Amino acid sequence: MWSAERIGTSAAWDRFGSKPHPSFEDLVCAVENAVVHTRDSAAQAANKGQLLAYWTVGKMIVVYEQDGSDRAKYGDRTLVKLAKRLTVTLGRGFSRTNLYYMRQFYLTHQIFQTVSGKLFWSHYCELLNVDDDAKRGFYEHETANAGWSVRELRRQMDSMLFERVINAKDSVDAESIKALACEGIAYQRPVDAMKSPVVLEFLDIPDVSAPYEGELQKALLAQIEKFMLELGRGFMFVGSNVRIPVGSDKDYADMVFYCKPLRAYVIIELKTTKFMACAVGQINEYLNYYVTEVNDEYDNPPIGIILCTDKNNVRAEYALGGLNNAIFASTYTLRLPNEEQLIEQVRKTIEANEPKILPVETTIPN
C-alpha cells in the first residue's frame, strides 16, 4: 500500500486522509483535486524545462559566435544554417527567428535564476522585442505579478503602461525607475494605482461624438474585465451607481472597486468634460462616508479618482491640495496614446525632478 509520502502531501490527500470514513463524494473531490494539482505541477515543470532548454541553446549560440573554430565560415548565416539542420532533426520550433530569440533570451538573462517560471516562451518572445532594459524588466515583472496572458501583455505594451505609470507620479528619479524595472508596480501608496492617461481604447467608441457620462459608464460595465485590467493588478469590482446615503439626499458613486494590494476601496467618478473643482467636493464626501460607515478595521483609507477628458495641472493642484483623503484627477483617452507625445511628457517629468546644478561662479564678487 502506498504511503502518504509516496503519493505526496498535497492538500487533496491531507483533506481526504483526515476523514475516518470518507464518502463517495469525498473520494471524487479528492481525486479531482489531486489530478488537477499534478497536471498543474507537470505543466509548470514542462514550462521551466522548455525555458531552460531555450536559454541553453541561446548560450551555446553566443559561445560559438565568440569562440567557434569555424565561425568565420558561416558568419552572419550561422542562424540560417543552424535552423535548417535543427528543423530536419528536431522538427518545428527552431526557425531562424526562434533561434534569434533564444540568443537574445540568453543575452538579456545571463543568469538563468533571473528567468520567471510564471512566464511562457511566448511571453518572452514579446518581451525580447523591447530594447530598453528598464521597460522590458517592468513588463516582465508585471506579467508575472498579474498573470497576464500574451494578449494582455501585448495590449499593455501597446498602451505604453510603463510610460503612463511614470507620467502619473508626482516625482520620478533614477531610483524609482529602477524599482519599476526590478519589481513592477509595488502598490505601497495610493498614487501607485494611478496612470496618466487611462486608456479606454477597448470600448470601441466612435469618434463621431463624445459620449455622455451614462453612456461611458454603460460601456465600461459591458467591458468590466478589460477595465479592471487597465486599472491594475488586484482590482475587484464592487458596484456601479452605489448609493451614498448621507442625510435625506440620494447620491450615487459612479463606480466602486476594491484594490486588494492597497487594501482600499477605490471610488471612481466619470466626467466627460474637463476637470472641474466642484467634482472634488462631491467625491471627498463619498470618501468620508466610506471611512466612517463602510471601512473595516483592516481597510486602509479609500481612494478617489476623477476621470476626465482634460485637466489643468495648476487648477488640479489647488483643488486637490490640503485634503485628508487621497483624491486624484486623471485624464482618459478612447484611443491608444500618441507614442511621441507621451515619451516627451515622461522626459519632461523626469527632467523636472532631476537635481538642479547651480552654475559655478567664474568671477569673485567684490
Same structural domain for residues 205 and 269? Answer: yes
Q: Is 39 helix (H, G, I), strand (E, B) or coil?
A: helix
2 assigned to some structural domain: no
40 assigned to some structural domain: yes
- Residue 153 exposed, middle or buried by CB count within 10 Å (0-12, 13-18, 19+): buried
Same structural domain for residues 202 and 316? Answer: yes
Alpha-carbon gap, residue 213 to 303, rounded angstroms: 21
Same structural domain for residues 85 and 169? Answer: no
Label residue 72 by pLDDT band (50, 70, 90): low
Are 319 and 277 within 8 A, CB to CB? Answer: yes
Same structural domain for residues 213 and 285? Answer: yes
212 assigned to some structural domain: yes
Instruction: Tell me the residue type at 146.
Output: A
Q: What distance separates the 2 farthest-apart alpha carbons in the chain?
A: 99
| 243-256 pLDDT tens trace | 998 877 789 999 99
Same structural domain for residues 154 and 257? Answer: no
Same structural domain for residues 222 and 105? Answer: no
Helix (H) or strand (E) holding 226: helix 224-231
Instruction: Tell me the residue type at 186.
Output: A
Q: How far is CA 88 from CA 49, 58, 78, 83, 141, in A?
A: 22, 19, 16, 9, 36
Strands 264-270 and 303-308: parallel
Are 307 and 268 within 8 A, CB to CB? Answer: yes
364 assigned to some structural domain: no
pTM (2 d.p.): 0.84
Same structural domain for residues 219 and 151? Answer: no
Q: Based on the structure, what is the number of domains in the chain?
A: 3
Label residue 42 by pLDDT band (50, 70, 90): confident
Task: Give the residue from 115, 143, 171 where a domain finishes.
Answer: 115
Mean pLDDT of 191-219: 90
Are 157 and 133 within 8 A, CB to CB? Answer: no
Task: Give the residue from 115, 148, 171 where a domain finishes.
Answer: 115
Helix (H) or strand (E) holding 102: helix 96-108
Residue 240 has phi, psi (to 5 degrees) of -120, 155
Same structural domain for residues 96 and 137? Answer: no
Instruction: Tell me the residue type at 27.
Output: L
141 assigned to some structural domain: yes
Same structural domain for residues 163 and 286? Answer: no
68 assigned to some structural domain: yes
Alpha-carbon gap, residue 223 to 220, rounded angstroms: 5
Higher per-residue confidence, 238 vs 26: 238
Domain range for 42: 11-115
CATH number of the domain within which 232 lies: 3.40.1350.10
Task: Give me 272's grid cell.
Answer: 466627460
Average model confidence (pLDDT) for the chain?
87
pLDDT at 11: 64
Same structural domain for residues 92 and 174? Answer: no
Strands 251-259 and 264-270: antiparallel
- Lowest mean pLDDT across 71-85, 297-311, 329-343: 71-85
Higher per-residue confidence, 239 vs 205: 239
Strands 326-333 and 198-199: parallel
b/e burial code for range 172-205 (CB count within 10 A of at least 16 → b): beeebbeebbeebbebeebebbbbbbbbbbbbeb
365 assigned to some structural domain: no
345 assigned to some structural domain: yes
Selection from 211, 50, 58, 197 nearest residue 119 by Cα: 50
| 229-240 pLDDT tens trace | 999 999 999 999
SS3 for 53-80 is HHHHHHHHHHHHHHHCCCHHHHHHHHHH
Alpha-carbon gap, residue 270 to 339, rounded angstroms: 25
Same structural domain for residues 138 and 239? Answer: no
Alpha-carbon gap, residue 353 to 332, rounded angstroms: 24
Same structural domain for residues 332 and 266? Answer: yes
